[in-house]
Chains A and B, each alone.
Chain A
Amino acid sequence: MNISKSKLINMYEKMVQIRLFEEEIIKLIGLGQPLGMAHLYIGEEAVAVGVCSNFLDDDYIVSTHRGHGHCIAKGVKIKYMMAELFQKKTGTNKGKGGSMHIADFTVGMLGACGIVGGGIPIATGSGLSIKLRETNQVAAAFFGDGATNQGTFHESLNMASIWKLPVLYICENNLYGMFTPASYALSVQDVSKKAEAYGIPGVTVNGMDVIDVYEVTNQAVKRARNGLGPTLIECKTYRYYEHYGSSTDSFYRTKEECEKWKQRDPIKNFRIRLINDGVLTEDKLYGIEEKVNAEIEEAVKFAEESPNPNPEDALEDLFV
């Protein structure tokens, strides 16, 4: 598949944004900055970017408790996300949501979701809306391996199938639902096989390879925009950090396993590939990384200097 140079560069930049945004969070947590319950996405960047690089601004996504990557990939501005984590009035959600509830309807980001499996029906409904309004948009639900054990996953796939909704179901199978291994909790290890029960295509893809994810998603988006209905895409991936927070100590997984996955790091390998394929020189890539670094620095400064919400602001925004 021929992906334009500018698209490849944009994908690399998005992945670096996600990585550096979260590395900054780790640093800030280390410094004692209270950022709430941040579930880090580091290691899984290829999924959000590979999927969302196929989308336009008016396409929709619904995310999970581990949502920073999806937000950034869909175009939510980093400085407002940072301000939200800093509990500031200038945040994406005016300080009322925090990490697990970031939403930006102006870029089709319908919300992260703190309840496992809770976002799947919402994405399905945005697909129904597209179908009823007869537009050419698509919607995607991101969710983890654990969510595939919720009823909403099965109900929504069934509904999207019978109504041929333009929805992509993106399972980030990172092998653990919190501390419980997918090898224990899933009756079938390849989540994509469950698509068969709903009469829709199911594909398993290497979730550490942004090009693989992009290409498989591209096919599914074409299907959806052509009125052929939903696709289930399972991305096998890995989170480098704990379920939430900045620790890497896992009692339930080995250091060797983690190291093995890090060898397949999505950003490191994509970087090598871009150089080898002659897309960009090392210098240019470094330039992108520096640019993102400056952007993060600016975001932290914006967040630090932003005002806190007033206590009474808590009584606003219940209804519009």
Chain B
Amino acid sequence: MQREITCNQAINEAIGEEMKRNSTVFLMGEDLYGNPTFGGKPLDLSLKKRVLNTPISEPSFVGAGLGAALTGMRPIVKLMFVDFSLMALDQIINQIAKITYMSGGNAKVPLVIWAPEGASGRSAAQHSQSLEGIFVGTPGLKVITPSTPYDVKGLFKTAIRDNNPVIFLTHKRLNYLKGHVPEEEYLIPFGQGTIKRKGDDVTIVSWLYTLNKSLVAAEQLKNEGISVEVIDLRTLVPLDSKLILDSVKKTGRLVVAEEEAKRGSVASEIAAFVAEEGFQYLKAPIKRVASKNVPIPFAKTMEDFVLPQVGDIVKAVKDII
């Protein structure tokens, strides 16, 4: 039987393995010892020195990650919620994203910032955001957005070994999602999306939790005779633009589905990119399915309404068929 583990376990395994492989890898963040395991096993005590609980000081411990990365370490900085990255944006955008470029390529910054994002239900506006657009719109950051335990582990290991700053976004709804992860080691390169489901009529491009909703939508549409191709981008920077264009060339129709507020979103960027580079393939307008342009509300009735749902994706596809 194939081994199945959760996304959380996959990350823990990736970090534990890389810490054992390379003594310069360390993890820091707030309240890490609430989860003192790697891969579901108790933390190897030899690694304990390299798991650092920080005070609640996002600007300084994120910036400290940069200082450590510049001086021979490979830090993984864990933010409890992506919403808290906003405290540290000077360090992320002004310092971390720019120092390699500003120094003419002389600075090496092997730094991973791991931030869970997305709405997990009743967490309200300051603990539910999806903010990939901020990072995608900042040159100098790689942005990773996996949606399965397999991808989480393979991409996290690649992130730790990369010599550039990586924003590793996970979705809180996916923490306990189980999936196949082999025992043996593997890495997944950045910039390679994957086709989760082949189809001919419409392309849905998605990532993180909305990818799962897109797959459910595709199944529903199949029953109505509509063949949907679903692409999981896995990484937003670098972007697998060829995979998107090739699929649109085949289907002639594109829906981009994700969880950010629609205005200024990465979905908008991808839609604009396809309009520029693949207009000749399009048989219908591009559709974006994203959250409505309000903060994420508390009450379930409103939260469900604001977030992109399976029904919204189904409707978007039908609108352009």
Within 2-55 of B, Cβ neighbours of A (below 8 Å) are at 24, 26, 49-50, 52, 54-55
The count of residues in chain A whose C-beta lies closer than 8 Å to any C-beta of chain B is 46
Contact between B139 and A115 (Cβ–Cβ < 8 Å)?
no
Contact between B60 and A93 (Cβ–Cβ < 8 Å)?
no
Using CB atoms, name the residue of chain A closest to B100.
Answer: A320
Q: A110-B67, A129-B67, A318-B139 are in contact. Are A121 and B107 (CB under 8 A)?
A: no
Contact between B140 and A121 (Cβ–Cβ < 8 Å)?
no
Q: How far apart are A37's CB and chain B's nearest CB, in angstroms? A: 14
Within 105-145 of A, Cβ neighbours of B (below 8 Å) are at 105, 110-111, 113-115, 118, 120-130, 132-133, 139
**Residues of B close to A130: CB separation below 8 A:** 71
Q: A126-B67, A129-B71 are in contact. Are A101 and B103 (CB under 8 A)?
A: yes
Within 135-149 of B, Cβ neighbours of A (below 8 Å) are at 139-140, 142
Using CB atoms, name the residue of chain B closest to A150.
Answer: B59
Q: A132-B26, A133-B73, A320-B163 are in contact. Are A159 and B101 (CB under 8 A)?
A: no
* Best-buried of B49, B64, B90, B94 by chain A (most CB within 10 Å): B64
Complex partner residue of A319 from B60, B65, B94, B164, CB under 8 angstroms: B164
**Residues of B close to A133: CB separation below 8 A:** 24, 72-73
Question: Bound complex: CA of A96 vs CA of B142, how far in Å?
Answer: 20
Complex partner residue of B67 from A91, A93, A127, CB under 8 angstroms: A127
Question: Bound complex: CA of A320 vs CA of B100, how far in Å?
Answer: 8
* Best-buried of B24, B60, B69, B90 by chain A (most CB within 10 Å): B60
Contact between B95 and A125 (Cβ–Cβ < 8 Å)?
no
**Residues of B close to A111: CB separation below 8 A:** 99, 102-103, 107
Q: How far apart are B53's CB and chain A's nearest CB, in angstroms? A: 10
Question: Bound complex: CA of A115 vs CA of B95, how far in Å?
Answer: 9
Question: CB of B178 within 8 A of chain A?
Answer: no
Contact between A105 and B64 (Cβ–Cβ < 8 Å)?
no
Question: Bound complex: CA of A132 vs CA of B57, how far in Å?
Answer: 20
**Residues of B close to A158: CB separation below 8 A:** 55, 57
Using CB atoms, name the residue of chain B closest to A153.
Answer: B60
Q: How far apart are A268's CB and chain B's nearest CB, in angstroms? A: 35
**Residues of B close to A92: CB separation below 8 A:** 103-104
Question: CB of A40 within 8 A of chain B?
Answer: no
**Residues of B close to A104: CB separation below 8 A:** 106
Question: CB of B70 within 8 A of chain A?
Answer: yes
Question: Bound complex: CA of A127 vs CA of B70, how far in Å?
Answer: 11
Contact between A319 and B100 (Cβ–Cβ < 8 Å)?
yes
Contact between A128 and B100 (Cβ–Cβ < 8 Å)?
no
**Residues of B close to A101: CB separation below 8 A:** 102-103
Q: How far apart are A65's CB and chain B's nearest CB, in angstroms? A: 12
Complex partner residue of B68 from A91, A96, A128, CB under 8 angstroms: A128
**Residues of B close to A127: CB separation below 8 A:** 67
Q: How far apart are B169's CB and chain A's nearest CB, in angstroms? A: 18
Q: A103-B102, A317-B104, A317-B105 are in contact. Are A132 and B63 (CB under 8 A)?
A: no
Contact between B105 and A125 (Cβ–Cβ < 8 Å)?
no
Question: CB of B62 within 8 A of chain A?
Answer: yes
Question: Bound complex: CA of A127 vs CA of B73, how far in Å?
Answer: 11
**Residues of B close to A115: CB separation below 8 A:** 90, 94-95
* In the complex, the 8 A-B pairs of residues with the closest C-beta atoms, listed nearest first: A125-B67, A121-B63, A94-B104, A125-B64, A317-B105, A155-B57, A155-B60, A122-B67
Q: List residues of A whose CB falls within 8 A of some B CB.
A: 60, 62, 91-97, 101, 103-105, 110-111, 113-115, 118, 120-130, 132-133, 139, 151-152, 155-156, 158-159, 162-163, 316-320
Supplied contacts A125-B65, A132-B26, A159-B54, 7 more A-B pairs, CB within 8 Å: A105-B103, A115-B95, A121-B62, A122-B63, A128-B73, A156-B64, A320-B105
A/B interface sample: 14 pairs, CB < 8 A: A92-B103, A93-B102, A94-B105, A105-B107, A120-B63, A122-B70, A129-B72, A159-B54, A317-B104, A318-B100, A318-B139, A319-B140, A319-B163, A319-B164
